[in-house]
């Protein structure tokens, strides 16, 4: 894990860093699932491996899942109590407005579900920016907008971690959020 950029927006503490999502101690981590909810590669594969064999059959039973929707499962062998599964959009430039809205819906659905469960912390990967091809630079303002709006609302959630697997992605996230939120606190 790299040093975290720590910011505040409304009632939320945001922590932005490079690390392994499966090692994060939070009430919930977010899984970037596929619509069929079949365990796959990337974030989904890592979460399934770390959570143990009980996750896969349960995950499959919850499919299909619409893009932007979110469902909750136990964390099983993870340090996180729960996993919130969401399906991000596949980026297509000709559908930019629609996929941008869907990406924001992923983050919003996960936050709403976590709040409905009265969770206090949630950790997100960089949804859709891997094999689904959503450019990180285009995703950052969308994610920031959702978090800024959510932070102004009453909620049980107090901490949101944005956990990037790749160092370059983490650097992009930290640079964007430091400028956008006007903070440069590292811990």
Enumerate the active-site residues: 44
User: Cα separations (Å) of 6 from 16, 24, 39, 137?
Assistant: 7, 15, 32, 20
* The token pair that represents 168 in the structure block: 């370059």
Q: Does residue 64 have a cis peptide bond before it, meaning omega lies within 30 degrees of 0?
A: yes
Rg of the chain's alpha carbons, rounded to an integer?
15
Whole-number Cα distances in Å, 34 to 69, 81, 103, 174: 11, 21, 14, 27
């Amino acid at each position: 894990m790299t040093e975290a950029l720590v910011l505040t927006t409304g009632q939320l503490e945001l922590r932005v860093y490079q690390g392994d999502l499966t090692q994060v101690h939070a009430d919930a981590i977010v899984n970037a699932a596929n619509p069929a909810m079949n365990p796959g590669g990337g974030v989904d594969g890592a979460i399934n491996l770390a959570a143990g064999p009980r996750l896969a059959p349960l995950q499959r039973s919850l499919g299909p899942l619409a893009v932007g929707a979110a469902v909750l499962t136990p964390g099983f062998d993870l340090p996180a109590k729960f996993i919130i599964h969401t399906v991000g959009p596949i980026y297509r430039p000709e559908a930019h407005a629609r996929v941008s809205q869907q990406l924001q819906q992923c983050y919003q659905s996960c936050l709403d579900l976590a709040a409905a469960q009265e969770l206090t912390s949630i950790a997100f990967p960089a949804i859709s920016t891997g094999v689904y091809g959503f450019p990180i630079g285009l995703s950052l303002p969308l994610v920031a907008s959702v978090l800024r709006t959510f932070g102004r609302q009453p909620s049980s959630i107090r901490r949101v971690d944005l956990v990037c697997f790749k160092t370059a992605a983490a650097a992009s996230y930290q640079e964007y959020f430091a400028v956008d939120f006007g903070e440069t606190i590292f811990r």
